[in-house]
């Protein structure tokens, strides 16, 4: 009887949550195990590059894969094509517009082994490995070009809608700043210059603006801590807000003023709204839901309500679907999987 009651309560809870997620219809699970994140559509919307550490695939840390979305939605045993070398640690992949190449950041030239995960030291930390560089590989995983050669962290690269520009994050000037370059790696330019972590950048649908996450330490104590951690190749991503700027870095604007961690932003197809992940509403810290806000900072709306982690949202090129990472439906494990849903405005 208790089991039946528990099952009914769980079903009722799911129904309420599903009803609340009014923008998401026809939700489908695309991966089944491990931590799967940063899934970004190909320009034709049929594939997605992403990173995974799924132990069932023999992985010890994140590697880059090319996901056939249709196959993944129909077959829980489907294993996507490995794109990265299988060595080192990788992050932040993205399709080039030709549909034949994927860029990503990797540490494999420094070592075949996975670099050590950061020691948490009493707070949640991200590692900013100086051995990350940005590469372009074909769909069989053969590296065709290395785009960055400057010492320091180079990662978090994404491609403009016209396929001609890349925005990425680099420490080459002493801080975590946004840079742009041509699709072939030439013409590298710094576009942000304020102290703090600028990263996770994406172009607007018209390619004229960039949205990104940023920390802005202001007190003497916060500035000291930020600089000390960065010198160790670390950042504490617990206080970040969403910003926008023009592609050249001008017209910098802070979109959110919510407190806590606001990150993983992506433009709505209209170019007038931004979807992002945030824990600003949470009393316990680790409860990340997707939200949407107007580009002028008004009209905040919660998008997801299920589980305690939802992040890395991206709209399909035609604006009809949203892909994202979530730890919903993970059978009580800590797995984070990829999901795709039809988007309803």
pLDDT at 12: 42
User: Percent of the chain having pLDDT more than 70?
Assistant: 94
pLDDT at 285: 66
Residue 286's pLDDT band, with cuts at 50, 70 and 90, is: confident
Taking a C-beta distance cutoff of 8 angstroms, is the pair 327, 317 a contact?
Answer: no
The average confidence (pLDDT) of the chain is 94
Mean pLDDT, rounded, for 293-320: 97
In three-state secondary structure terms, 37 is strand
Taking a C-beta distance cutoff of 8 angstroms, is the pair 341, 27 a contact?
Answer: yes
Spell out the domains of the chain, with CATH numbers in brackets: 26-343 (2.120.10.30)
Residue 19's pLDDT band, with cuts at 50, 70 and 90, is: low
Q: For residue range 96-139, what is the model confidence (pLDDT) as tens digits?
A: 999 999 999 999 999 999 999 888 877 899 999 999 999 999 99
- Show Cβ contacts of residue 97 under 8 Å, excluding neighbours closer than 6 positions: 43, 159, 162, 163
pLDDT at 263: 98
pLDDT at 119: 85
Please name which of 179, 162, 160 lies closest in space to residue 170, comparing C-alpha atoms.
Answer: 179
Mean pLDDT, rounded, for 20-28: 97
Residue 1 has pLDDT above 70, yes or no: no
Residue 7 has pLDDT above 60, yes or no: no
Burial of 192 (0-12, 13-18, 19+ CB in 10 A): buried
CA distance 237 to 257: 15
Paired tokens of 269 = 């197809």
Mean pLDDT, rounded, for 267-276: 98
Mean pLDDT, rounded, for 205-225: 98
- How would you classify residue 340: left for phi > 0, otherwise alpha for psi between -120 and 50, otherwise beta? beta
pLDDT at 120: 80
pLDDT at 4: 41
Taking a C-beta distance cutoff of 8 angstroms, is the pair 199, 212 a contact?
Answer: yes
Report the predicted TM-score, pTM, of the whole model to 2 decimal places: 0.93
Mean pLDDT, rounded, for 11-35: 78
């Amino acid at each position: 009887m208790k089991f039946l009651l528990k099952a009914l309560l769980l079903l009722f809870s799911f129904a309420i949550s599903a009803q609340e997620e009014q923008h998401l219809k026809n939700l489908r699970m695309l991966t089944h195990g491990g931590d799967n994140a940063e899934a970004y559509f190909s320009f034709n919307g049929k594939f997605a590059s992403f990173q995974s550490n799924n132990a069932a695939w023999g992985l010890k840390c994140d590697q880059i894969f090319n996901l056939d979305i249709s196959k993944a939605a129909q077959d829980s045993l489907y294993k996507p094509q490995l794109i990265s070398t299988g060595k080192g640690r990788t992050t932040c992949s993205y399709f080039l517009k030709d549909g034949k190449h994927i860029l990503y950041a990797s540490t494999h030239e420094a070592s075949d082994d996975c670099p050590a995960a950061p020691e948490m030291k009493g707070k949640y930390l991200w590692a900013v490995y100086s051995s990350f560089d940005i590469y372009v590989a074909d769909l069989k995983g053969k590296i065709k070009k290395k785009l960055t050669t400057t010492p320091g962290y180079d990662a978090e690269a994404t491609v403009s809608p016209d396929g001609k520009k890349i925005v990425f994050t680099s420490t080459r000037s002493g801080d975590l700043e946004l840079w742009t370059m041509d699709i072939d790696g030439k013409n590298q330019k710094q576009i942000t210059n304020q102290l703090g972590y600028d990263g996770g950048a994406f172009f607007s649908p018209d390619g004229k603006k960039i949205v990104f996450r940023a920390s802005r330490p202001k007190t003497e104590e916060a500035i000291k801590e930020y600089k000390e951690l960065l010198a160790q190749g670390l950042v504490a991503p617990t206080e970040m807000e969403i910003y926008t700027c023009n592609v050249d870095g001008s017209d910098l604007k802070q979109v959110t003023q919510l407190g806590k961690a606001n990150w993983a932003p992506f433009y709505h197809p209209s170019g007038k709204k931004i979807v992002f992940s945030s824990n600003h509403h949470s009393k316990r810290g680790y409860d990340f839901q997707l939200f949407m806000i107007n580009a002028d900072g008004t009209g905040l709306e919660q998008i997801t309500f299920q589980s305690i982690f939802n992040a890395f949202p991206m709209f399909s090129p035609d604006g009809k679907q949203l892909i994202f990472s979530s730890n919903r439906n993970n059978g009580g494990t800590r797995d984070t999987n990829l999901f795709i849903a039809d988007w309803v405005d």
